Every structure is written in C-alpha cells, then in structure tokens.
Amino acid sequence: MPLLKRPKTWSVGGDESAQSSDHEHSDVGSHALGTLRDAQQEAGCQAMLYEAQVHESKKGPKRRFFFKARFLFPLGIILGVLLGFILVQPYDIQEMHTSLLLLIQEYDISLRLPEIDFSRVQVEWVRLRSNIPEVWKLNNDGREFQVGETMKERDLTARYPVVIIPGIISTSLESWSTSPEYRPFFREKVWGGFNMLSQVVFNRERWMAAMMLDSDTGLDTPGAKVRAAEGINAASNFMTGYWIWAKIIENLAVVGYDTNNLYLAAYDWRLSMWNLEERDGYFSKLKIMIEGLKKRQGKKVVITAHSMGATVALYFFKWVESPAHGGGGPDWVENHIETFLSIGGAYLGTAKAMSAFLSGEMRDTVEMNPVGAYVLERFFSRSERQQLFRSWAGSASLWVKGGDTIWGNETWAPDDEPEASHSHGALISFRRDLVIATDAGAEQTKNMTAERVGNWILERTPSSFQKMLSMNYSFGIERDGEVLARNDFDHRKWSNPLEIRLPNAPSMKFICVYGHGKETERSYWYAHAQQVPNESLVDTELSKAEEAGSSNVARTPLDSSRLRSSWIDAEYTSENLTPKVRNGVKIGEGDGTVGLLSMGAMCVEGWKRPRWNPARINVTTVELPHRPVSNMPRGGANTSDHIDILGSTTMNEIILKVATGVGHEIEESFVSRIREYAQQINWD
C-alpha cells in the first residue's frame, strides 16, 4: 500500500522527520524516531546558545552598574546640585526674580511672572547653610576675620604698607590674544577659575597652545598672548571656594588695609626672571609701586612672599640695586623695605622640580588612584607635561641648588634619618633587580646625586632648553667673597641665594616662616627602558649654535637612538624602609611640597655667615607644626601645608603683627631638627 506524504513541520529545535501515516510502525521504530527528534532539538538549542554567546562577546564585557548611564547621569545631577548649593550666596536668591524678568524681556518672551517674595527663602537658605557640616562649606564658617578682630581689640591698626608676592601657579592668567583661534576665551582666565576647567576638557589642544611658551625666546608663541591678572583678586582664590591669599587679605582689611596700602604684585610665573622685566616690566612696576606707597604712607614697606615668590623677591633686591637695571643704588632696600617676610620660601629648590623636568611626574601624579591617573594620562600624558614644564622657564628657578654640598652624596645626606637603609643623597636611584631584568646599561643605571641629575636631564633635552637655562640661572655654591661681589652684576646668579649676597639693609627685618610635619617627596626610585628615537631631540638647533660659535649650550644631547624613557618606579612601595618608599617616592621632611633643607638651611645657618649676609641682617626663623583637623578639607586653623598655611591662625597672626608694627613680638620657634641638619653642611 502506498505511503501518504505529510508536509514538513519546523520546531524551535529544527527539522522534524516526516511522520508516516501508516499506523503499523513497530515500537522500535517509534522509539528510534523519538530519539532522533530529541537529538535534533538539543542540537538546535546548543546552536542558538552558541549564537547568543558570540553576540554577547561582540558587544564586549558586561559593564558594571556603576559605569552605566542609569547611574552616572543621576549622579552627575546630584553633584551639580550640591556644587550649586555650595556656591550660591544669599544675595543671589534675593536677585533671582529681577534677573529672571530681565532675561524674559531680553528674549521678548510673552510670560507674566507673579510677584514672588524671596525674603523668606533667603532667611531659610542662610539658616540651612549655617547648619551644614564644615566639610561642605570649604572652611568659610565665619572664622575668616577672627585674627583681625583680635588685633583690632588690641588697638592695632595698619602701620606699614604691605606688598604680597605670590608663589608659582598662584597668579591667575588671562588670554589677551585677538587671533581667531583664541577669541573664544578673550579676557577669560586660562589659568585659575572654572573657565580653565572647561577649556581643559573641551578645548585642550588650544589651551595647551596658549599656555606653552616659545622654546627659543621664552615668550608667547605666535598668535597667543597670555598675561597675569591684575589686582587683589589675581591670587585671592584659585577658583570659587578654593582660597589662596583671601584669608590673609580679609584679616588685613579688619585692621585698616585696602587697595591704598595693600598691593598684590601678581606675575606670569611661567616666565624667567629676565623675561618678567623684558616683556612685562614687572620689576620696574614693583619698584615704582613701593616708592609710591612709601611716599604716600610715609612708612617703609613690608614685603610678604610665598614659595617661589621669595625667590622673586631676592632677585628683585639685586635688580633694584644694580646700576644697569633698577638703578636704585646700594641703599634702596634699606630705605624702602621695613620687613621681608617669607612663607615656605623654596630658596634651595625642590626635588619635585627635577622629576617634573625629567619625566613630567611628581608625587602628586604617581600617588593618584587608578581612575585619577587614567584621567590625567588621558588629558595630559607624561610627554605633554614635560613639554609644558620645559617651556615654563620660571619653574626652572626651582631646580635644586648647591649640588652635592647641600643635598649629599650617594651614601650620605645631611637630613638622613639615623640608621637609614638608603640615603637621600642619591636623589635618583635604580633598583638592582629591575636593572638586571631590563638589561639596562651600567652607565645609565648608576644612582645619581643632585649634580648628576641636573646633567642627566640636560643631556636629554633640546639645546633650546639648555640655552634658556644657561642664560637665566645658576645652581652652584660660591664661597669666594670677591666673586660674590661680582655676582651683584650677573643676573643669572640672582635667583640662587648661595651665589649672591643679601642686600645692604642692616635695619631690615628678615623673617622665615614655614611649615613642618607633612610627608614631602625628597628623592626617588626610577625605572627606564629603551624607547623609539625621539624626534623632538634631534638637535638641529645645536648644530646651528655651533656654526655661529655660540657658547650658551650647556650639554650636548645624547644620540636619540640611545636615549631611554625614564619614569618614577611607581610599583615600588615599602613602608618598612627608612626612609619610607611610597609609589617610587622616598619620603622626607617638609611642608608637603618643599623640603625642609630648602626652606630652612639658609635661614638658620647660611645667612648667619657674612659672606652671604655682609650687612648682618637679623634673620628670625619660625617653624609651624602641621596639625590639621581631619574632618576639614583644608586642614583648619593649625595646618602647615605649603598652600593651606596661608589660612592658618598662627600665620595670619604673624603677618598682622608685622604689618601693625608689633613684629618684635615674633620669636624664633623650631619643631624640626633643621639646625642639626644645617650644621652638617659644608658651608665653608
């Protein structure tokens, strides 16, 4: 009998066999068909599962919830509201209604707003802000004027005019370029303020081009024109909520200071000292301002300088005396300056300046968490940071000075701790096991002292950088009195206190104040490896200089094919060693930024010697212990961090005592072993 055919049917599992219409199949046949059908279905399921896995693998690894938009978007809104909550002031609320009406009129919007009384909202807003924990108020809790009020209760008022010289990166910088590519931020801050953040994020290449200086002239690059902001606000706050000099200015105002007797001498800290005068006439303006203040007020002037600003002040003292520059004569400082008060003065340089020029790194970058490090490297790679640092000739004034005499040799340094397992004198060291593993050459892997590090950097930089350094700076130590006298006429020496004499001002008071007790980078463990030849170091400029007979080139760069890429050995951490090693950084003493030797050695020992202080100016040293409050973002009233010390109560008291004429109440105070360290230095 002929078999009847049935059309095929398709299940999820795939092809099923046609079933016979004949009901006379045996049980064995039926079982075989069932088994085959099950196998086909299972194979189909496995195929579908495989296809799904392939599809998922193409989509990439599954993102965690914290990285998804459904989490990040609401988080961004919450953070934005909190930021606005912190920054909005009561008077902003009071003017909301008026501002909204003006906006509607400007855009001709047909909308009638009801009259709203914001006075009650303002009252509630003030009450709510007053109950916010200190950590959210960025230290603005009403204590800003307390030091000034205390001085006022003693009937102390403004006596001497005050001139403030800020430190490196403290002064805001503005763009004055009218070139089409820079017009979007004309007269806006390219350094300081929230506008800088937006430019860095959304217009990074143009921002870097504006901030970079010309490698040959040390001045603006073609088309760019960046200048220091003017006035008290130039360095009061770095951005809203992050104060620098604001608290000191507030307390000075309580005792009678204003823009008639208080001057903030802002400057473009990117420039070399020479170019500060050459381009901006900075020292000429400073001289005229001080002379004007003395003439109007009838009193000599107090200069208070912070960090690199102390070096700028020393340079100014020699510049103003020089007949070829300021023309003030040898008695100008004596006749115009009452007190020179330095805060955290980086007189002998900083270790972090060396690492920044060498590899574009410092402790701040290598100790970042992985997310922060990724963001930094994403926006500013090490090579880009190198380019910026090396174009900013002003920052080269922070190179370490005095060489091995001050900073020690491979086995000893004056500030080594007892039973130290490794000396700070080796400013840059290499781990032997890492050297063997990378098969690095012996010459490149030898531990280096301060002097060798300087040469090592110069051998790896273009001749334009070497020329800039040799034309503007000197980093040695001079003991010969006759040579020191001749250095009065050599501007390259004026930023190095070891190669110049203090001014002829025997009645001028000199007060060194700095913090101590915060871990500070002192020396480093480095790693390096062979790299691809660096085109930027192909030294065409060197050959041109040699053809012209130039003698300004300090070092001949090594052949680029033999150069090694160097970086801080951030994988190396050991808290049990002495000194501690954290992310490749050897920890020493200081204020968190500048090392103790740099801030204190000249104050307690160097300037006690007539060769560097022939007028025998009395130098008073005050060390402030670092005792921050853990729940306050800037440390509170007893912090001595390099920047936050400007808001500490004791620091404000010292400045106000000097300004109001009771500076004689200030006595020397020590919390470190700086006198012991300084006595171990071979000054003579």
Question: Which is catalytic among the residues 424, 429, 642, 672?
Answer: 642
Question: Which is catalytic among the residues 170, 175, 272, 307?
Answer: 307
Q: Which position has the token pair 């040695």? A: 476
For residue 307, indicate whether it is catalytic.
yes
Rounded Cα distance between 590 and 624, Å, is: 11
For residue 464, indicate whether it is catalytic.
no
Rounded Cα distance between 581 and 228, Å, is: 38
Rounded Cα distance between 626 and 641, Å, is: 7
Residue 229 phi/psi, 5° resolution?
Answer: -65, 160
Rounded Cα distance between 399 and 355, Å, is: 10
The answer for residues whose C-beta is within 8 angstroms of residue 45's C-beta and 6 or more apart is 12, 13
Three-state helix/strand/coil letters over 68-122: CHHHHHHHHHHHHHHHHHHHCCHHHHHCHHHHHHHHHHHCCCCCCCCCCCCHHHH
Across-strand partners of 42? none
Rounded Cα distance between 426 and 413, Å, is: 8
- Closest to 319 in 3D by CA, of 490, 486, 505: 490
Rounded Cα distance between 355 and 567, Å, is: 9
Rounded Cα distance between 460 and 401, Å, is: 20
DSSP per position, 582-624: ETTEEEESBBSSSBHHHHHHHHHTGGGSTTT-TT---EEEEEE
Question: Which is catalytic among the residues 539, 591, 641, 644?
Answer: 591
- Closest to 628 in 3D by CA, of 671, 670, 591: 591
Rounded Cα distance between 168 and 521, Å, is: 18
For residue 591, indicate whether it is catalytic.
yes
Burial 650-667 (b: 16+ CB within 10 A, else e): bbbbbbbbbbbeebeebe
Residue 190 phi/psi, 5° resolution?
Answer: -100, -10
At 278, list the tokens: 């050459």
Radius of gyration, alpha carbons of the chain: 33
Rounded Cα distance between 309 and 228, Å, is: 14
- State the sign of the Cα–Cα–Cα–Cα dihedral 242, 244, 250, 253: negative
- Closest to 145 in 3D by CA, of 303, 265, 256, 263: 256
The answer for residues whose C-beta is within 8 angstroms of residue 590's C-beta and 6 or more apart is 515, 516, 518, 520, 522, 596, 598, 599
Q: Are 329 and 364 in contact (CB under 8 A)?
A: no
Find the distance separating the first CA and the last CA of the chain, reported in whole Å: 125
Report the catalytic residues.
Answer: 307, 591, 642
